[in-house]
Amino acid sequence: MKLSRRNLLKGSAAAGALAALPPMAIADDVIKVGSIHDLSGIFDIYGKPMDKAVGLVIDEINAGGGLLGMKLEKISYDTQSDMALYTQYAQQLTRQDHVNVVHGGILSASREAIRPTLRKAETLYFYNTQYEGGVCDRNIFCTGVTPAQQSEVLLPAIINKWGKKIYSLAADYNYGQITAKWVQHYAQANGGEIVQTDFFPLDVADFGATITKIQEAKPDIVMSILVGGAHMSFYRQWAAAGMNAKIPMASTTLCVGNEHRVLTPAEGNGIMVAYSWSQERDTTENKAFLEKWQKAFGSTDDLHELAVATYSGMNLWAEGVRKAGSVDRMKVIEALETGISFEGPAGKITIDPPTHHAINDVLLMQVEDQKMKVLEVFPQRPPVDTQAVCDLKKNPDDNQQYEIKI
């Protein structure tokens, strides 16, 4: 390629003109959305559909002309179920990619790995995952259900249906430990009792001795707060021992990643759960969403609670941008703090201004032939656990995760 004096002068003039523009002006016609999820590794069953949900909302908004007249661009990183990569990619999203918002994280450890980085970089963060509650930080919005939202619905239902004596099994980390306390709280509030709570590391897969202990304790109900692939072994071993025909079970975690589709009907039927979404919820919005997902990805088999919460979170953020008339972080935060709502596949989801958590519909459901049959809908349940410790209206500079005392 020959470089003539005329071309050189033209290039110099263009460079000078670009240098005179304000910073980031070249990219002013694009809004960048960061997606940071486990797309491979042991948590990819959760992360892949969540990343798809981010892309689906972007495609819908772009097809409608964009947001504030600007196109959205997804910048996605696969953290490979490795907490160290969350930190690395959060830094990359903020320092190199200069995204306007980040949607991501699955385990609480992943959230806490990136939350300080995003806050320091003044990059808005949405965490769209069911978790243990208590995060109080003006830079984050949490759209998943918290333990009190679930347990407040689930415990009275199973006690009234099956009895008062409950044996709990929980994952041995903060989610399992805190949720177990909420289960105990709502059990006692409804006349029940926890006869035993056992905690298990995430890599435990042999529950033979535990099943024997449960048989000896003779509870009316087993409550599972187990998490992850290894813990799935419990449900199979429980059914293989014939115990699912003798003692009914409820769970705060089963089905959230479509685990009920992995279990056979004989292993899963009858288990009670409570979440904010089900494919079987019969609403116009949910049916339309299922059709969209089917058209975009060819199947709804991988669609789960966390993906729907991500879809809702993306739409809530977009509503905040529209109301603010800007992608400026603080203007969007202030817009969201007016109590913005989104009506979608999970029903109405509303931002609770003092906590930045979501007010969700909660569905009481029972596993039936690898589906979640909706028994009852409890509309607009507030995050009462986090409300007990977090008030960002009074303390806007708060920045911590509280251990909620029950």
Assess whether pLDDT exceeds 70 at residue 13: no
298-315 mean pLDDT: 96
- Identical fold, 27-145+280-361+381-401 and 148-275: yes
CA distance linking residue 394 with residue 403, whole number of Å: 19
Q: Which of 29, 200, 164, 34 lies closest to 102 in space, CA to CA?
A: 34
Q: 277-293: per-residue pLDDT in tens?
A: 999 999 999 999 999 99
CA gap 177, 197 in Å, rounded = 10
- Answer whether residue 336 shows pLDDT above 70: yes
DSSP summary character for residue 130: -
Q: Where are the domains of the chain?
A: 27-145+280-361+381-401, 148-275
Taking CA atoms, 175 is separated from 139, 199, 226, 254, 348, in Å, by 22, 11, 10, 14, 25
Average pLDDT, the chain: 91
pLDDT band, very low/low/confident/very high, at 404 (cuts 50, 70, 90) = confident
Q: What is the mean pLDDT of residues 97-107?
A: 96
| Interval 220-231: pLDDT, tens | 999 999 988 888
Q: Is the pLDDT of residue 16 over 90?
A: no
Note the CATH architecture for domain 27-145+280-361+381-401: 3-Layer(aba) Sandwich (3.40)
Q: Would you state the pLDDT for residue 28? A: 61
CATH number corresponding to 148-275: 3.40.50.2300
pTM for this predicted structure: 0.89
Could you report the per-residue pLDDT of 175-222, keeping only the tens digit for each? 899 899 999 999 999 999 999 999 999 899 999 999 999 999 999 999
Distance between CA atoms of residues 310 and 289, nearest Å: 13
Q: What would the pLDDT profile of 337-357 be if each residue is shown by its tens digit?
A: 999 999 999 999 999 999 999
Percent of the chain with pLDDT over 70: 93
What lies within 8 Å, CB to CB, of 14 at 6+ separation is none
Q: Is 207 exposed, middle or buried (0-12, 13-18, 19+ CB in 10 A)?
A: buried
Q: Could you report the per-residue pLDDT of 55-77, keeping only the tens digit for each?
A: 999 999 999 999 999 999 999 99
